[in-house]
Every structure is written in C-alpha cells, then in structure tokens.
Amino acid sequence: MTELNIGKWYDPISQRWIVPREPLAAAASSAQSNTEKMLESRRQHEARRIWELLVDCCARR
C-alpha cells in the first residue's frame, strides 16, 4: 500500500500553512486489528479523494 504524503500546504481560507501529523510508528500499525486497518484505509482513500477534488477545483480558477 502506498502512503499519501502531500507535505506542507497553504490554506488560503485560514491564511496559514498546514503541516500533516507525523505517521504512526511501524510497530504500532502492525498491532492494529483488521477492522482498524480497514478504517484507516477508508480514511486515507477519503483524504486522497478530497485532496484531488480540491486540486481540481483550484485548477479551474
């Protein structure tokens, strides 16, 4: 599975730089149950979908 890493980005609405949270340690992620891994996968998918919608929206302007 690839990890989404968008780095630091500027939010023009709040007029500040957004820095993503640090990723969880590999040891902690290996202890997650299958349900937690599935929820995390959905969250990452949703984050990617929202990011792509924002990029598309801003590109049209």
- Residue 20: its pLDDT value, please? 77
| pLDDT at site 57 | 83
pTM metric for this prediction? 0.43
Structure confidence at residue 9 (pLDDT): 81
How much is the pLDDT for 48?
Answer: 92
pLDDT of residue 31: 58
| Range 23-38 burial, b when 16+ CB lie within 10 A, else e | eeeeeeeeeeeeeeee
pLDDT at 10: 85
Predicted local distance difference test score (pLDDT) of residue 2: 62
Largest interatomic CA distance in the chain? 44
pLDDT beneath 50, residues of the chain = none
